[in-house]
Amino acid sequence: MSQRFSEEHQAFRKTVKTFVEKELAPNVDEWERDESFPDWVFKKAGDLGLHGAHFKEEHGGLGGDYWFSVAKGEEYAAANAAGVDMGLLVQSDMATPCIADLGTKEQIEEFLVPALAGDRIAALGVTEPDAGSDVAGIRPTARRDGDDYVLNGAKTFITNGIRASFLTCLCKTGTDKGVGGISIVLVPTDTKGYHVSKKLKKLGNHCSDTAEIHFDDCRIPARYLLGEEGKGFYYLMQNFQTERLITAATTIAGCKRILDASVEYGRNRKAFGKPIIKREVWQHRFVDMYTELEAARQLTYHAVEQYNTERYEKGSLLSFETVKLISMAKLFVGEMSSKIMDECLQFHGGMGYMDETLVSRAWRDQRLIRIGGGTSEVMRYAIAKIIGL
């Protein structure tokens, strides 16, 4: 294990590992069939301090650095169902970090503290029917009316959207046609006019609920504005880095599990008189995959080091160098994971195509990595801008 993890990190990792082995892994087959997992999973994780590992103690967290979240993500991968990982990580690494960064004392008490405890379930409302990667093109409006905002519009592909008790939502609060009119507001889902239009069916991540949401004159208190009005785009760009980092770390751990399981399968599956893993062509392919996996891990860990230094040691905004490294890690891991899962499925032959096999589920689930949190094409565009192309 990397020297970046202290004894404290490893003790926390053991807690996560036990939680996954006892509470998650035995149930994921049923949850995949049901296309959902129960809300008690959020509460149990909260009771163990998993959501708040890298949040301040005064926010209800453990006061750790970001390596705690990396350890958590790596262990979550052992659940063998990325839909569970997705739901839990939206709660801890995607919908709530900006509340910790920007929230007032009242917002933190009302939304963040119960979310880290698992008493409230969070969702992140960014993508919508006409704007995904082009965040600046969002359309939902939040019009100021006295002491309230009146929210109208729609969001889609919202993880935890069916069950969420609040939404960290990006919307237009101004008339600026660029990014200057975008803000972030906290939207309780019991607000009048808030509608879950439908539950969406997906290629993979079956046990995570994904919803389309509509706002029809949702009146929310102006005190639910996060940070300053008109700066939501810039806040979100910082928040995206956490999402991309944890996605990369968790995906690498998942790929390692599939590679190891495939090798074991190849030791026992014989063809033409000997185990198929003894075929030189497959040995070479597995060597290449393990090498790429290690390269991805080191790139991601390097990005985490930079992120950890700037956010937890210096308390500063992220530099362009760190954003570049995170974008590179997200890009590289997304492309690598597609290759690894496809090769491992091929290695299993007909069994790989069966829904009952682990590699089949992993192949479906990983395809999101090149899309969610910024497509591979958007990552390349961001990197190109930073390095001056």
Domains 123-226 and 232-386 share a fold: no
d(CA 282, CA 285): 5
Given the candidates 3.40.50.1820, 1.20.140.10, 3.40.30.10, 3.40.33.10, the CATH classification of the domain at 232-386 is: 1.20.140.10
DSSP 164: -
DSSP 90: I
Q: Which helix (H) or strand (E) holds 326?
A: helix 320-347
8 Å CB contact between 144 and 181: no
DSSP 200: P
Tell me whether residue 110 is one of the annotated catalytic residues: no
pLDDT tens string for the chain (389 positions)?
A: 567 899 999 999 999 999 999 999 999 999 999 999 999 999 999 999 999 999 999 999 999 999 999 999 999 999 999 999 999 999 999 999 999 999 999 999 999 999 999 999 999 999 988 766 667 678 889 999 999 999 999 999 999 999 999 999 999 998 776 777 899 999 999 999 999 999 999 999 999 999 999 999 999 999 999 999 999 999 999 889 999 999 999 999 999 999 999 999 999 999 999 999 999 999 999 999 999 999 999 999 999 999 999 998 888 889 999 999 999 999 999 999 999 999 999 999 999 999 989 999 999 999 999 999 999 999 999 999 999 99
Q: Which of 254, 277, 276 is CA-nearest to residue 364?
A: 254
Fold of 7-120: Butyryl-Coa Dehydrogenase, subunit A; domain 1 (1.10.540)
Helix, strand, or coil (residue 100)? helix
Q: CA distances (Å), 114 to each of 50, 81, 118, 139, 244, in order?
A: 13, 26, 6, 30, 24
The full set of domain ranges for the chain reads 7-120, 123-226, 232-386
**Degrees to nearest 5, angle at CA 353 with 347 and 355:** 130
Residues comprising the chain, all counted: 389
Chain centre distance of CA 387: 26
Which residue among 75, 128, 212, 243 is the active-site one? Answer: 243
Q: In the structure encoding, which two tokens stand for residue 186, read together?
A: 């906290």
The domain at 123-226 falls in which architecture? Beta Barrel (2.40)
pTM for the complete prediction? 0.94
